[in-house]
Every structure is written in structure tokens, then in C-alpha cells.
Amino acid sequence: MESIKIYLTLFATSIKARMEYKASFLFYVFAILSFYAGQFGLLFVLLGRFHEIKGWTMGEMIFLYSLHAFAFGFTNLIFSQMVNFDKMIIDGDFDRVLVRPLSPLGQVIFSKFEISTAAHLIIGSTALYFGSHLANIEWTLYKTLLFPVIIMGGVMIAGGIRLIVTSVAFWTLRNRSLVHTVIFSSKEFINYPVNIYNMGMQFFLTFIFPIAFINFYPAHFFLDRSGDGLLHPALEMGTPIVGIIVITVSIFSWKVGVNHYQSTGS
């Protein structure tokens, strides 16, 4: 109970620290929105010319984006400290975390909340609205209830992957480029329906680096698309299970990393 109180204080402090610079906060939101505008711009150019991408129409593509934006937005909010975690190790800040009587992972997560990712949630909601509309999604009670569960599963997958690559820093110290590739560049894969890739890559994105579960598979369920073209139709409901597996593996890898940790002495 006591630790929950501490976490809440840490949370409030981190938000307050960020809101000190209100102009910069709004500025970030604007920049992220412009970044998305560029991505949507390209999508519109391509769909304007080719009408659909492997059977995915404009509305369906936008819905695919919305699942992705929501999952990424929440992941970025919660796991933002993971992006520059290697710096914490190199500078020796992680030593301070270890001597406190509170879970190291909890402290690292609660030390920074990137609230400018509200921009991702704005995009996610807008895309959800237009995507549902254009693709004529029928929001049954079942779908509505499952939507947050799927998003949560997506956050567990994306967050778990972040935690795993972050843990690598316990061995390599500097791993910025790896973290950036895994977190940001790989995002690019699921900007498009995964069935545009060859079988080998589809297999990779499903079973080894399972980001296809963030948007591609669950989108089949929400859009009432037939799962015939998938590796297996049952995969469209796999997101929560995969999420639990990934987050469990990631916590395990983090713990192994913490045990292995030797201070840099700086």
C-alpha cells in the first residue's frame, strides 16, 4: 500500500515537471501531429492512385493506423524512459535506483511519463472515428468491450519488446541505435497490412517479433474480414495472449539483466 502512494507521488512529480514547459509541450504535440500528417499524406497519395493495398481500402487502412497509434501512444507514455535507458546506466544513475527499497523497474517507469504522446492518442481517436465510418464497422457490444483489451494487448507487446531491448544495455552499456531501430523503425512494418510481405517475413512478424498482433490480426476481427488469407484464422484473437507472453518474457529478461548489472563507476 505504501509503495502505491510513492508511485503516485512519482507519477504526479513527473507530470508536473513536464508541464513546467507548457509551450514546449504544445510544440511537441504539434510536431508529432505533423509527423503523422506526413504519413497519412503518403497513404492518401498511394490509395488515391491505387485504390487499395492488397484488399485493404482507405477506411480499413485508417482503422489499422488507429490501433497502431493507440498502442504506440500508451506504450510511449508508460515506457518512455526505456528509450534513453542506456544513458541511465552509463551515467551511473541506475545505482541510485538500486539502493532504494522499491522495485527498480517500477522506479524507472515512474521516473518519466511522456505526456506529449497525447498526440498519438488524438491521432488514434480521429483515425478510429473516420476509419469506423469509412469502413462501416458495426460496433457490437462484444467488439466495443474487446477494443480496450486488444489495445492493452498491443501495449504489452510493444512495451515488452521495449523492455527486452532495453535490458540488452545491462550487457552492452551503449545500445541506443539498437533501441531506436527496434522501437521506431520497426514500427514502419505495421503501417501497412502485413500480408504485403513474403511468407518468411509474415512468419517473423507473427511468431518471432510479434508486432503483427498490434494491429493486423485484431483488425480482421473488428472489420469482420475473413481470416482465410492468414497463416491461421485463430490468430486474429491472439493479441491478449501474445501480449501476456511478451511482457512475461520481458520482465524475466529485465530481472536477469539487473542481476548481471555492474556499475560503470561513473
Partner 1 sequence: MNLNLFLKFVSVSFQKQVTYRFDCFVGIINGFLYVFIFTSLWKALYSQFDTTVHNGYTLTAIVTYAVLVMAVRISFTMDDSIIYRKVMDGSIAMELVRPTSFFFMNLAENVGHSLFHMMARTTPIVIISIFLFHIAIPFEVSRFLVFFVSFVAGYLLVSMLNFIAGLLAFWFIEIFPFMLFKYALYTFFAGGIVPIDFFPEFLKPIVKLLPFQYMLYFPTTILIGRTSLAEAQSIIMVQLMWIVIMGFICALMWNAGKKKLIIQGG
Interhelix angle for 239-260 vs 141-167, to 10°?
Answer: 20
**Contact characters 82-111, partner 1, x per CB under 8 A:** ------------------------------
Q: Between residues 188 and 228, which has the closer beta carbon with respect to partner 1?
A: 188
State yes or no: residue 262 binds partner 1 (CB under 8 A): no
What is the C-alpha separation between 109 and 81, in angstroms, rounded?
6
Q: C-alpha 214: how far from its chain's center?
A: 8
> For 223-259, b where at least 16 C-beta lie within 10 A, e where not — what string?
bebeeeebbeeebbbbbbebbeebbeebeebbeebbe
Q: Contact with partner 1 (CB under 8 A): which of 13, 140, 144, 181? A: 181
State yes or no: residue 74 binds partner 1 (CB under 8 A): no
Q: What is the dihedral of CA 43, 186, 159, 243, to 10 degrees?
A: 80
Kindly state the smallest distance separating residue 68's Cβ from partner 1, in Å.
14
> Is the distance from CB of 61 to CB of 135 less than 8 angstroms?
no
State yes or no: residue 24 binds partner 1 (CB under 8 A): yes
Kindly state the smallest distance separating residue 53's Cβ from partner 1, in Å.
6
State yes or no: residue 177 binds partner 1 (CB under 8 A): yes
State yes or no: residue 189 binds partner 1 (CB under 8 A): yes
* Helical segments of 213-260, H only: 216-222, 239-260
Q: Between residues 52 and 224, which has the closer beta carbon with respect to partner 1?
A: 52
Interacting residues with partner 1 (CB under 8 A): 21, 24, 27-28, 30-32, 34-35, 37-39, 41-42, 45-46, 48-54, 172, 174, 176-178, 180-181, 185-186, 188-189, 192, 195-198, 201
